[in-house]
A and B are shown apart, each in its own frame.
Chain A
């Protein structure tokens, strides 16, 4: 079984630019989550998509957005990049919406560096 795949693995952008990160969930998983892992801050919840709809979002500004496609893959878009957006962006997927029944499976992330 293929795991959660993310692309690209690394990305360098300039402040003010826009970036799109991509995620393919495990086959059969309908829920996709995005987390930001900044140095020393643990994992911060960004967005949750299920069945193509945004179900919840974390405490991030509107320039962080995303979507989920009919095949359940997902994109995370970040506009007007700021230096503090430099982080590892992790995508996770799960089979259902109940954590204890279907734990999150994480990809290896996209390392974004904003200069």
Chain B
């Protein structure tokens, strides 16, 4: 029940296209859903995050769509660029749980390649 399932494992998109990565969770107590971006040789960096009280959050070319009833959320990268090529991780946590507030549960990652 603590799992976050992420798909696809790898994704190839042409420059200028839309990249879509999906995640699903089981634990309805999760109430914070961040996405992290990781370049080779670097640690993950927070890209964008959403709370379940909104269905969509947009920051520049990056958008999170959240479907609470389906327990799914997705990352959309508009106008994908070669510099977006990286591994993307979705994650979830229970902010309201003081003991585990920072215990982020990560998906398995998606290796995104943007072809020029």
Contacts and interface: CB of A to CB of B under 8 A. Distances in A.
A62 B46 CA distance: 30
B101 A103 contact: no
Interface residues of B, number: 28
Would you call the interface of chain B mostly helix, strand, loop, or mixed? loop
Contacts of B93: 99
A86 B102 CA distance: 24
Contact of A56 (B42, B100, B106): B100
Given A99-B34, A99-B95, A109-B43, A104 B108 contact: no
A108 B38 CA distance: 10
Contact of B95 (A33, A98, A105, A108): A98
Interface of A: 4, 31, 33, 35, 40-45, 48, 55-56, 58, 90, 92, 94, 97-100, 103-109
